Amino acid sequence: MVRPMLEFFLRGQSVTPFIVIGVVGLALVVLSLVLGEVFEGLLGGLDLDVGGGLFSAPVLGSFLASFGFGAALIIYTTGAGAAVGAVGGLASGLVVGGVALGMMRSLVNMPTDETVTTSSLTGAAGVVITAIPADGFGEVTIRHHGSQHKYNARATDGPIPAGAPVRVTAVLSASAVQVEPA
Greatest Cα pair distance in the chain = 93
Q: What pLDDT was estimated at residue 12? A: 56
Q: Which residues contact 113 (CB under 8 A, 6 or more apart)?
A: 145
Are residues 143 and 126 in contact, defined by beta-carbon separation less than 8 angstroms? Answer: yes
DSSP 157: S
DSSP 160: B
Q: What pLDDT was estimated at residue 7? A: 62
Q: What is d(CA 124, CA 130) in angstroms, rounded to the nearest whole number? A: 18
Closest by CA position to 25, among listed 113, 97, 103: 97
Q: What pLDDT was estimated at residue 4? A: 67
Q: How is 55-113 classified by DSSP, letter by letter?
A: TSHHHHHHHHHHHHHHHHHHHHHH---HHHHHHHHHHHHHHHHHHHHHHHHHHHT---P
pTM, two decimal places = 0.55
Using DSSP's 3-state secondary structure scheme, residue 141 falls into strand
In order of their start, the domains of the chain are 2-108 (no CATH), 118-181 (2.40.50.140)
Per-residue pLDDT of the chain (182 residues; tens, 9 = 90+): 666 665 655 555 678 889 999 999 999 888 877 876 665 556 554 444 444 577 788 889 999 999 999 999 998 888 888 899 999 999 999 999 999 999 888 887 888 776 767 778 899 999 999 999 988 899 999 988 778 889 999 998 889 999 999 999 999 988 899 999 98
Closest by CA position to 17, among listed 67, 63, 51, 84: 67
Q: What pLDDT was estimated at residue 47? A: 46
DSSP 138: E
Q: What pLDDT was estimated at residue 32? A: 79
Q: Residue 38: in which H helix or E strand, if any?
A: helix 37-42
